[in-house]
Amino acid sequence: SSRGAVHDFELFKRNIKLIPSEAFVLADKGYQGIYAVYPNSLLPLKAKRRCKLDPELKIYNQEINKRRIGIEHVFGRLKTFKILAGRYRNRGKRLGLRFSL
């Protein structure tokens, strides 16, 4: 949902100092404003309403998405087990343990 993307973007901005400055961040289309915050960002381009993407830009999107698919599969598996489906309401100390389990 778009609300989830906004929350994720805020979380990204709060933790930006943990990302090495030379690292590239691969994001999905929900992170459209990321360039202003982190210039080393790569995200798929959106087509305009009445204007399709050029074939070269589609290839660009495919290259980014090929690199993101592995982590998207991990997110899918985590959601299957409801780890990321709702808010974590327990103590932060045990989050790593429960996540690992």
Q: Which domain holds residue 10?
A: 1-43
| 54 and 36 fall within a common domain | no
pTM for this one? 0.63
| 52 and 85 fall within a common domain | yes
Query: Number of folded domains in the chain?
Result: 2
| 73 and 86 fall within a common domain | yes
pLDDT-based confidence at 65, cuts 50/70/90? very high
Cα dihedral across residues 15, 17, 23, 24: positive or negative: positive
Please state, in angstroms and rounded to a whole number, the distance separating the CA atoms of residues 14 and 71.
Answer: 21
pLDDT-based confidence at 61, cuts 50/70/90? very high
